[in-house]
């Protein structure tokens, strides 16, 4: 992804009401997306088993690398969820407008 595409995603997140500031998400107590927790758990186990704990993923405390990863993943996954919801609503609207 180039910077233009990154900017478009960030702008779309803001348009969709997704908080993109990780610190604000943490301070506001915004929960991680369930899939973000699932992905993190898989990455953590995989890193431990296959990577000799190369990334040393940690979660559960302030400033842990795993927490930051889960917040980043949560933003992206919420973005995907909202896009899917928006497309589904558009399809429902299209169906209701057909003659």
Tell me the C-alpha to C-alpha distance, in Å, between residue 68 and each of 14, 37, 89, 98. 19, 11, 32, 46
Report the pLDDT value the prediction gives residue 32, as an integer from 0 to 100.
Answer: 95
Tell me the C-alpha to C-alpha distance, in Å, between residue 45 and each of 15, 33, 58, 83, 90. 35, 19, 11, 30, 39
In the predicted model, residues of the chain with pLDDT beneath 50 are: none
Residues 6+ apart with CB under 8 A from 50: none
Report the pLDDT value the prediction gives residue 93, as an integer from 0 to 100.
Answer: 62
Spatial separation of the C-alpha atoms in residues 80 and 22, rounded to whole Å: 17
């Amino acid at each position: 992804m180039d910077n233009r595409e990154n900017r478009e995603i960030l702008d779309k997140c803001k348009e969709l009401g997704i908080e993109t500031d990780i610190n604000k998400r943490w301070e506001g107590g915004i929960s991680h997306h369930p899939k973000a927790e699932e992905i993190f758990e898989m990455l953590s186990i995989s890193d431990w088993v296959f990577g000799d704990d190369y990334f040393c993923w940690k979660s559960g405390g302030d400033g842990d690398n795993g927490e930051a990863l889960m917040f980043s993943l949560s933003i992206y996954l919420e973005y995907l969820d909202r896009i899917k919801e928006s497309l589904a609503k558009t399809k429902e609207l299209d169906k209701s407008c057909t003659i």
